[in-house]
Chain A
């Protein structure tokens, strides 16, 4: 009696030479076992011969495309890996250069500032020269006799510092009421201001309950705040020259 499993292994050639010889000998004595072995062999052959071969060309092409993608990705990874230190260096230099360029440009382009930072009460005069200037303005306040057709009367002068620059604040008045005039010795762009339609060199905005007009020009910026219309502020601004000392000469000092 041959175990069926051994018979299958015999047909598959998976028995050791000794086992193989033993099964072979038994098969000679058992026609039934021989028939079973032949049936296994036939079935195996039938399966092998008649199993369908699936068309695989298209699927293989897809595989090749995928392998190409993998190779490409590996090449990129390899290049990045190999030159990573150099790339880091290049990026670092680019960042440093970018910073330098930005810093250089920031010297040229007017920085944005909130107007609140320029108004009295937010900062104080500190340096000796600012104190001297203040005294000089006060001296002008007492001595000057100048006036214009629509005279501005200077009531108070104070100086505060914005980023190390002295911002002169003049509290003045004319026939329409009080004004605050800020004279800043640097080009500044004040935030939340939009260009005036008829005079794009002027920029308009609001600060609390006051309208506000600014005029950056050359190395100076002049700002006027008052509770009055933009047109009126623009009229006052048009009277003021750019230079701060000239401004003083246009204001009637009482």
Chain B
């Protein structure tokens, strides 16, 4: 192996070159095979979130699979434009956009719709002295999912993206095309509604006494 010692100027030029390469948009460096492999590797990691979000939005396994697959195809087509920051947030943004533009219109049955967004936000906490994590300890996943299903769609979307998928307010605002202020109020109201729905389950199953919430 040959070792070449660079003088100061040459090293500076090399660093400049590295900087320049570093500033290139990453996708420009992809070959076609690399693009597919990179995309597939990243998409496979976030696919459970993509499908889960699709399922929670559509409330139908068949529609959710179609929506998730379409989102993957769209993302693959647009992968060269992905800025390389948060792939999961980018994917969920595509899913949400697709859902809003395509699936929401053909949802059957009455829409739970958006309640007044500027309505009063109820507190989340109970009057009981026990912390919620103890009160709801017996609640299972299906009950969470059913309670989420009772939350109107726009509020549910905010809760899913924030509390289940861990997106920031800005990422949720980008995904749902609403201002951050709206995201904040939807999240606060969505959580209150989720909490009320969970209380109903907890009381029904005897985990929570009715007088504890009154």
Contact = CB atoms under 8 A, between A and B. Distances in A.
A54 B144 contact: no
On chain A, which size bracket covers the interface? 35 or more
A219 interface: no
Contacts of A66: 69, 72-73
A62 interface: yes
B87 interface: no
User: Which applies to chain B's interface (DSSP): helix, strand, loop or mixed?
Assistant: helix
B110 to A, nearest CB: 25
Given A47-B164, A60-B44, A64-B40, A54 B169 contact: no
Interface string B14-43: 000000000000000000100010011001
A63 B164 contact: no
B51 to A, nearest CB: 5
A39 B126 contact: yes
User: Which applies to chain A's interface (DSSP): helix, strand, loop or mixed?
Assistant: helix
B139 A12 contact: no
B93 interface: no
Interface in B101-147: 121, 123-126, 131-133, 136, 139-142, 144-145
Contacts, number: 126
Contacts of B125: 32, 35-36, 38-40
B76 interface: yes
Contacts of A43: 124, 132, 136, 163, 191, 194-195, 198
B26 to A, nearest CB: 20
Contacts of A47: 144, 148, 159, 163-164, 194
A156 B195 CA distance: 113
B48 interface: yes
A43 to B, nearest CB: 6
Contact of A67 (B73, B132, B141, B195): B73
Given A47-B164, A66-B72, A67-B40, A9 B144 contact: no
Given A47-B163, A52-B144, A66-B72, A5 B51 contact: no
Contacts of A50: 139-141, 144
A5 B133 contact: no
Interface string A1-28: 0001101110010100000000000000
Given A5-B121, A12-B187, A70-B73, A63 B43 contact: yes
A44 B163 contact: yes
Nearest to B127: A35
A192 interface: no
Contacts of A79: none
A88 interface: no
A9 B124 contact: no
A4 B131 CA distance: 18
Interface of A: 4-5, 7-9, 12, 14, 32, 35-36, 38-40, 42-48, 50-54, 56, 59-60, 62-64, 66-67, 70-71, 74
16 contacts: A8-B188, A12-B187, A38-B125, A39-B132, A42-B131, A42-B133, A43-B136, A43-B198, A44-B163, A46-B133, A51-B164, A52-B144, A53-B48, A53-B52, A63-B72, A67-B73
